[in-house]
C-alpha cells in the first residue's frame, strides 16, 4: 500500500471553494492510516459545517412492498435469488402509506421515503402511490421520496405531478463492478432512471452500498459518477450481510474505513446531502456519532428488512453532539 501524505484541511479548502478533488486525493482519504482518522473527520466537518451548519436531516423508510422481486441483486433479501426468511406482501394500501407519513412526523423525520421492491411499478401500484402522495402532501409539511425501481418518463411525470419531491435510485457500485452484483439490469439502466427522474423535475437521490467486494478505485469511481450525475442526496449504505443472500459471506468493512468513505464523499460532493444509511448500526458500531461530522443526514427507524436503532437513540446522539434536527425538509 502506498501512503500519501495529505493536508486534509487543504482538501476541505478545495471543497469549500468549489475545486474538484483529484482521484489521487480521493484515494488518499480511503487509504490513510487510521492515525489520520480524526484529522480527516475534522476536515470533512469543516465542509459539512460550511454548507449545513450543525443541522441533521432525518429520513424515514416505509417498506411499501416486500419481496416478489424478479431482479437478482446479490445484496438484497427481497431478490429472486435470496433465500432469506423475510415477510412478503404486495403494495400496501393508501391508508397505511399515509399513516407511515404520520409516523415519520412523530419521529421528527422531514423526509418520508416510500420504497417498493420490483423492477418497476405496475399501473395499479403507481396509482396507489400517487393517491397516497396526494393525500400526504395536502395534509402534512412533508418531503416525499419515492423509490419504485426503473421508471418510464410518463411514470416519473405522474409522480412529480402528485407531489413527489425526490426519487431514489441508487447506483450502488461502480460501472466496472456492477456485473458482479446483478445481471438482470445494467448500470446504464440505473443512470437512465436517475436522469428520467431529473427530467421530470424530481430531486435525484442516488447512492452506494459499500462492502460488496469493490476496490478502493471502484468506490472512488462511483463517488465521481454521483458527482457527475449531480445527485442532490447521496445515501451511503454499508453492506449488512443477510443470511440467504449471495453476498452473505462478505464482511469486509470496519468502522474506520466506513468513516473515511463518508468523508471522501463529502469532499467530492461538498454541498450535497450525505446520508449515513443502511447498515450503519452494524458497521459503524460505537463510532456512529463520528459519521455526523461528515454526513448531515441519517435514516431513523427500521430499514427495508433489517432493524435500525430506536429513533430516540438517534435523537439523543444528535443532541449529545450539540447538533440540531432539521424540523422541516421542505
205 is in an annotated binding site: yes
328 is in an annotated binding site: no
73 is in an annotated binding site: yes
CA torsion, points 277, 280, 281, 287, in degrees to nearest 10? -130
Q: Which residue out of 46, 145, 266, 280 is catalytically annotated? A: 145
The whole-angstrom separation of Cα 269 and Cα 88 is 36
All three cell numbers of 85, joined, read 426468511
258 is in an annotated binding site: no
Q: Is 113 one of the catalytic residues?
A: yes
Q: Is 145 one of the catalytic residues?
A: yes
Q: Which residue out of 46, 48, 69, 269 is catalytically annotated? A: 69
145 is in an annotated binding site: yes
Look at the alpha carbons of 213, 178, 257, 246 in this order and tell me if their dihedral is positive or negative.
negative
Q: Which residue out of 113, 147, 258, 269 is catalytically annotated? A: 113
Q: Is 205 one of the catalytic residues?
A: yes
Q: Is 258 one of the catalytic residues?
A: no
Compute and round to an integer the Cα radius of gyration of the chain: 19
Q: Is 275 one of the catalytic residues?
A: yes
The whole-angstrom separation of Cα 248 and Cα 164 is 34
Q: Which residue out of 158, 190, 266, 275 is catalytically annotated? A: 275
Hunting for cell 460505537 — which residue is that? 286
269 is in an annotated binding site: no
Q: Which residue out of 76, 147, 258, 269 is catalytically annotated? A: 76
Q: Which residue out of 46, 48, 73, 258 is catalytically annotated? A: 73
Buried b (16+ CB within 10 A) or exposed e, 164-179: bbbbbbbbbbbbebbe
The whole-angstrom separation of Cα 284 and Cα 265 is 16
Q: Which residue out of 46, 48, 205, 280 is catalytically annotated? A: 205
Look at the alpha carbons of 172, 178, 180, 186 in this order and tell me if their dihedral is positive or negative.
positive
Q: Which residues are annotated as a binding site for [4Fe-4S] cluster?
A: 69, 73, 76
Residues with catalytic annotation? 69, 73, 76, 113, 145, 205, 275
Q: Which residues are annotated as a binding site?
A: 69, 73, 76, 113, 145, 205, 275
Q: Which residues are annotated as a binding site for [2Fe-2S] cluster?
A: 113, 145, 205, 275
Amino acid at each position: 500500500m502506498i501512503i500519501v501524505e495529505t493536508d486534509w484541511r487543504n482538501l476541505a479548502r478545495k471543497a469549500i471553494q468549489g475545486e474538484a478533488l483529484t482521484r489521487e486525493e480521493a484515494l488518499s482519504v480511503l487509504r490513510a492510516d487510521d492515525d489520520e482518522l480524526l484529522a480527516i473527520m475534522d476536515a470533512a466537518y469543516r465542509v459539512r459545517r460550511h454548507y449545513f451548519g450543525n443541522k441533521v436531516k432525518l429520513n424515514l423508510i416505509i417498506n411499501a412492498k416486500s419481496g416478489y422481486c424478479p431482479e437478482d441483486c446479490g445484496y438484497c433479501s427481497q431478490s429472486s435469488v435470496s433465500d432469506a426468511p423475510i415477510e412478503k406482501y404486495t403494495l400496501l394500501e393508501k391508508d397505511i402509506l399515509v399513516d407511515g407519513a404520520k409516523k415519520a412526523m412523530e419521529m421528527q423525520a422531514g423526509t418520508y421515503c416510500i420504497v417498493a421492491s420490483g423492477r418497476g411499478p405496475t399501473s395499479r401500484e403507481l396509482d396507489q402511490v400517487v393517491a397516497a402522495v396526494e393525500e400526504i402532501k395536502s395534509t402534512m409539511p412533508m418531503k416525499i421520496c419515492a423509490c419504485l425501481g426503473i421508471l418510464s418518463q410518463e411514470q416519473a411525470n405522474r409522480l412529480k405531478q402528485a407531489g413527489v419531491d425526490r426519487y431514489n435510485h441508487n447506483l450502488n457500485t461502480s460501472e466496472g463492478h456492477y456485473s458482479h452484483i446483478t445481471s438482470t439490469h445494467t448500470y446504464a439502466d440505473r443512470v437512465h432512471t436517475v436522469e428520467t427522474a431529473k427530467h421530470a423535475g424530481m430531486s435525484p437521490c442516488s447512492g452506494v452500498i459499500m462492502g460488496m467486494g469493490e476496490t478502493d478505485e471502484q468506490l472512488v469511481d462511483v463517488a465521481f459518477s454521483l458527482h457527475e450525475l449531480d445527485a442532490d442526496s447521496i445515501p451511503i449504505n454499508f453492506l449488512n450481510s443477510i443470511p440467504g443472500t449471495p453476498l452473505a459471506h462478505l464482511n469486509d468493512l470496519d468502522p474506520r474505513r466506513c468513516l473515511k468513505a463518508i468523508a471522501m464523499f463529502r469532499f467530492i460532493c461538498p454541498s450535497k446531502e450525505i446520508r449515513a444509511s443502511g447498515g450503519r448500526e452494524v458497521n459503524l458500531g460505537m463510532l456512529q456519532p463520528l459519521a455526523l461530522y461528515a454526513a448531515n443526514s441519517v435514516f431513523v427507524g427500521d430499514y427495508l428488512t433489517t432493524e435500525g436503532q430506536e429513533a430516540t437513540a438517534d435523537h439523543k446522539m444528535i443532541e449529545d453532539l450539540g447538533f440540531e434536527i432539521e424540523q422541516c425538509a421542505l
